[in-house]
Amino acid sequence: MVTLNRLLATVQDASKKYGIGYVIKKTISAWFYLSYYKIFRLGKTFIFREDKYHYAYHFYNTTWMNERAVEIPLALKIIKKNEDKKILEIGNVISNYFNIPHDIVDKYEKDHNVINEDVVDFSPNKKYDLIISISTLEHVGWDEIPRNDKKIPQAIENLQKLLTPKSGLMFVTLPIGYNTVLDKLLRDETIKFHEQYYLRRISKKNEWKEASWQDVQDAKFGKPFLGANGLVVGIIHGQDYRKDG
């Protein structure tokens, strides 16, 4: 129901901006490609940290065309492992695909289950066992007016404080090439996770492969393929991430 409501809202917004003809054309095209991927590529998988995942093919945000195809399966697995624990999501992403009850902080997106606060200032009266963020932190400070290049490290530091000590876990995905400041912070290790992994898009068919930092550090956003062409997957444990390395 949540996903359906989101789709309807998206259709309404697009109709107002571009007209119903545009929406119908785009909808037919999206259903065609979604059907193709679900029929002919349903069994396709990718490997991450020696585990096999099925690509996510979903109508919302046309996941077969972009990084959501790998981000959603990764997020879903770690959420299922922690489904009986306290979970916080930064950016309202997962609820577009699955009706999973957890706290969500999103500064701008309005919804009944979303806390509209800045992630830098968010200070609840509880700790979280899992904090997850899917391609959201790259927007912090970067897509704001005025722009603030210091906000991403501040956001990560604040979120780390919200983790349950020792047992808490933060799982983050970040696209390379979207935010040049973030790319630099990763390159000079101002931002460094306890565990840091990488995925690289390798084909027009939106296939992904685990890679090294050298493979993705110069990846372009939107070139040669739509959306991210390189992803950072970062994991932070319930302690000061700056002290590990």
Cα Rg for the chain, rounded, in angstroms? 18
pTM: 0.84
Angle made by CA atoms 193, 216, 210, in degrees to the nearest 5: 75
Pair type for strands 87-90 and 130-134 = parallel
pLDDT-based confidence at residue 239 (cuts at 50, 70, 90): confident
The answer on pLDDT for 245 being more than 50 is no
Query: How far apart are the C-alpha atoms of 239 and 168, rounded to whole Å?
Result: 8
pLDDT value of residue 64: 85
pLDDT value of residue 32: 46
**pLDDT tens sequence across 57-112:** 887 888 989 999 999 999 999 999 998 999 999 999 998 888 888 999 999 988 88
pLDDT value of residue 16: 63
Average per-residue pLDDT in the chain? 87
**Residue 67: is it exposed, middle or buried by C-beta count within 10 angstroms (0-12/13-18/19+)?**
buried
Query: How far apart are the C-alpha atoms of 67 and 64, rounded to whole Å?
Result: 8
Compute the average pLDDT of residues 17-43.
57
**pLDDT tens sequence across 174-204:** 999 999 999 999 999 999 999 999 999 999 9
pLDDT value of residue 58: 87
128 with 163: CB under 8 angstroms? yes
Query: How far apart are the C-alpha atoms of 71 and 67, rounded to whole Å?
Result: 6
